[in-house]
Amino acid sequence: MKIILEAPFMVEAIRTLTNLYRLGWDERNGGNLSYLLYDEDIKDYLDTDKVIRTIPMSFDASEIVGKVFLVTGTGKYFKNVQYDPERNLGIVRIAEDGKTCELLWGYSDGGKFTSELPAHLMSHMVRLKADPEHRVVMHTHPTNTIAMSLIHPASEREFTRSLWKMQTESIVVFPEGVAVLPWMVCGTNEIGEHTAKKLENTRLCVWTTHGIYGTGKDLDEAFGLIETVEKAAELYMLTRGAERVNEIKDDELRDLAAVFGLNYRTDYLD
């Protein structure tokens, strides 16, 4: 077997998690990541017949039995991942009963997956139906996105419009808009169910006063979506209370959509 820490998926995941901490989006043990892995990703690096231990879940994931995920650990700090990946990350497989995870690698200190794994798995199931190439669920706490959620109406239409109008890239990067979830207790199946419902029609869901869920075909897409929302939210916060004399107009957003061939939320424009 090759060294698993040199596997491309592992190298990129560690880089991404380290960068999320560097950006200040994942303080302390905030944030979590799950990454769907295929046989070709792990076959040279991991003996999938060797189960280290089993970990029960408070959720029935029978729909995705046998699927394997790289998942951040509960209570772990993103800043420590680069120094001790095997302690802070784990690779788990959904067992035949759908309610148990088989640990194939990681959580070397006896730990377990993030408490939000059920929310992640619900989101994976929904996004795989919308996009068979989907692989990543990323939850993080971008500063300006949270700040914007504190002062902006929670209307998904209005929240999306505000982000689209801040910069040219917004409608191009997330033409389907962003979902907005009112405050809920985190780490519960309930918030996972509501988030998954929101993600049926978008790749992004803002958790009011908490953070954001971003999804994608790979780590770059999920990170890039969140990064673009955060830049737009920063511009919104920097210019709030000022007269935005050059804010992008609805007709200009339509022009952008036409040039880029975007399948956007037409009902979000006046």
Q: Could you give the CA distance from residue 252 to residue 175 in angstroms, rounded to a whole number?
A: 14
Q: Which of 141, 123, 160, 130 is nearest to 34 (CA)?
A: 123
DSSP state letters, 244-270: -TTPPPHHHHHHHHHHHT----GGG--
Q: Long-range contacts made by residues 81-90, C-beta under 8 angstroms, separation at least 24? A: 81/14, 81/17, 81/18, 82/14, 82/17, 82/18, 84/108, 85/5, 85/10, 85/14, 87/111, 89/13
Question: Which positions ≥6 away from 73 have C-beta within 8 Å?
Answer: 87, 88, 89, 90, 106, 107, 111, 112, 113, 114
Q: Which residues sit opposite 137 in a β-bridge?
A: 34, 215
CA gap 218, 73 in Å, rounded = 20
Residues in contact with 94: Cβ distance below 8 Å, sequence separation at least 6, in sequence order = 61, 64, 65, 66, 67, 68, 69, 100, 101, 102, 121
> Cβ contacts of residue 162 below 8 Å, gap of 6+?
148, 152, 232, 236
- Write down the catalytic residue from 116, 156, 221, 234: 116
Catalytic annotation present for 96: no
Rounded Cα–Cα distance for residues 257 and 264 (Å):
7
Write out the catalytic residue numbers. 116
